[in-house]
């Protein structure tokens, strides 16, 4: 791995970087579409490449349960299995173990859980999670962590912090593939002293990158930003910083300003399938009756395939008729919006005008909200 910071902002902690992996280069700040089970829902790999996606995210928990990491390894690894020749990041599956499993028992040895698919019993240890991700062959892999819900007591948060650090050491010791980039995940909940301790102790262990976990669990945006503000100044400048599971466009912008480099979230793809579309002037809920005869494009300022070819009326018709094409067109648009937003943010950082961009970003939304409350 080579990570190079190429531009920084004087007024903020924002930065542009270049992360080199064995399957290609990633320009940061970057948004990573979520392909949980080896697919970004409704889109083909070629469509993702045409949108400009540089890296996608897969999930070790889901791929372990179905079709199985050993089968994927026999098929030549995850890249070949899903026909994707650009970088892949796999999450360790820790969050899914704690959020999806029917039953879950955590000890210092690992997490025993019952599959949400068929009720079968399984066990994840730090060593097995690394083994799974090495078999998948992702470019970036994650250490196993214990993710708590919000709110959690200081005592529970302390226990999860210590366990996550112990697991991180075991993950680092058990890895065998030097061609993969291993990230440690910083926990500590919403207790500043615990977040600080977790960050410093994780840095002592030593990883190629650092992820901020335990967010997007029900907290408010100000709470999330406070945690980012606490952690970023402690992180090494020469390592990529990954904010897991975040988020809305406003979240991405605010966290880039605070120094984060990498983001993933299901929001753009999941919202596309529920008819919530992101535009330069705010959201559009395409099922609303006001669009039934609207011949204009979804967003006149957008150059995506959906906006170039189809009207709001047609998109509404597809959604109301539950046509698969509607889900595909919505997903193309939402991902284009997110990728274009990150491109604009990178350009603003390089030109030293990120705060101007931020002001314009919010101004456009407030004007529309005043006009259409």
> How many CB atoms lie under 10 A from the CB of residue 181?
22
With tokens 């961009």, the residue in question is: 357
With tokens 């904010």, the residue in question is: 243
> How many CB atoms lie under 10 A from the CB of residue 153?
11
Q: Are strands 88-91 and 140-142 parallel, antiparallel or unpaired?
A: parallel
- Dist. CA 56–CA 38, nearest whole Å: 9
**Alpha carbons within 13 A on the beta-carbon side of 218:** 8
The pair of three-digit structure tokens given for residue 33, joined into one six-digit string: 């579409």
DSSP 3-state of 317: helix
Q: Which of 108, 30, 20, 25 is nearest to 349 (CA)?
A: 30
Residue 170 CB partners (closer than 8 Å, separation 6+): 125, 126, 127
Are 1 and 312 in contact by the 8 Å Cβ rule? The answer is: no
What are the start-end ranges of the H helices in the chain? 45-51, 60-65, 69-74, 78-82, 94-100, 126-136, 154-174, 192-205, 221-231, 249-257, 267-273, 305-309, 312-320, 324-350, 354-371
- b/e burial code for range 85-104 (CB count within 10 A of at least 16 → b): ebbbbbbbbbbbbbebbeee
- Dist. CA 270–CA 278, nearest whole Å: 12
Active site residues: 91, 264
């Amino acid at each position: 791995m080579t990570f190079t910071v190429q531009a920084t902002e004087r007024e903020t902690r924002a930065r542009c970087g270049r992360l080199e992996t064995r399957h290609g280069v990633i320009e940061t700040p970057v948004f990573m579409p979520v392909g949980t089970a080896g697919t970004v829902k409704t889109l083909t790999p070629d469509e993702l490449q045409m949108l400009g996606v540089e890296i996608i995210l897969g999930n070790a928990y889901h791929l372990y349960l179905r079709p199985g990491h050993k089968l994927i390894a026999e098929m030549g690894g995850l890249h070949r299995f899903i026909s994707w020749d650009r970088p892949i990041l796999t999450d360790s599956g820790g969050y899914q173990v704690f959020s999806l499993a029917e039953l879950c028992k955590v000890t210092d040895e690992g997490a025993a859980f019952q599959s949400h698919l068929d009720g079968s019993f399984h066990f994840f240890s730090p060593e097995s999670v690394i083994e799974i991700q090495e078999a998948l062959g992702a470019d970036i892999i994650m250490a196993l962590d214990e993710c708590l819900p919000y709110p959690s007591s200081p005592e529970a948060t302390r226990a999860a912090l210590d366990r996550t650090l112990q697991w991180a050491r075991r993950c680092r010791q058990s890895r065998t593939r030097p061609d993969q980039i291993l990230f440690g995940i910083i926990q500590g909940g919403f207790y500043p002293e615990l977040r600080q301790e977790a960050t410093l102790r994780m840095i002592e262990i030593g990883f190629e990158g650092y992820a901020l976990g335990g967010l997007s669990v029900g907290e408010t945006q100000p709470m999330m930003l406070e945690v980012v503000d606490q952690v970023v100044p402690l992180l090494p400048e020469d390592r990529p910083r990954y904010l897991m599971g975040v988020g809305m466009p406003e979240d991405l912008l605010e966290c880039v300003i605070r120094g984060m480099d990498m983001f993933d979230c299901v929001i753009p793809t999941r919202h596309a399938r529920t008819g919530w579309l992101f535009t330069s002037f705010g959201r559009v809920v395409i099922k609303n009756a006001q669009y039934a005869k609207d011949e204009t494009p979804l967003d006149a300022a957008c150059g995506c395939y959906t906006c170039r070819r189809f009207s709001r009326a047609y998109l509404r018709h597809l959604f109301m008729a539950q046509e698969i094409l509607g889900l595909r067109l919505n997903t193309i648009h939402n991902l284009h919006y997110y990728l274009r937003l990150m491109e604009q943010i990178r350009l603003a950082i390089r030109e030293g005008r990120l705060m101007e961009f931020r002001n314009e970003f919010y101004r456009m939304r407030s004007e529309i909200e005043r006009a259409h409350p």
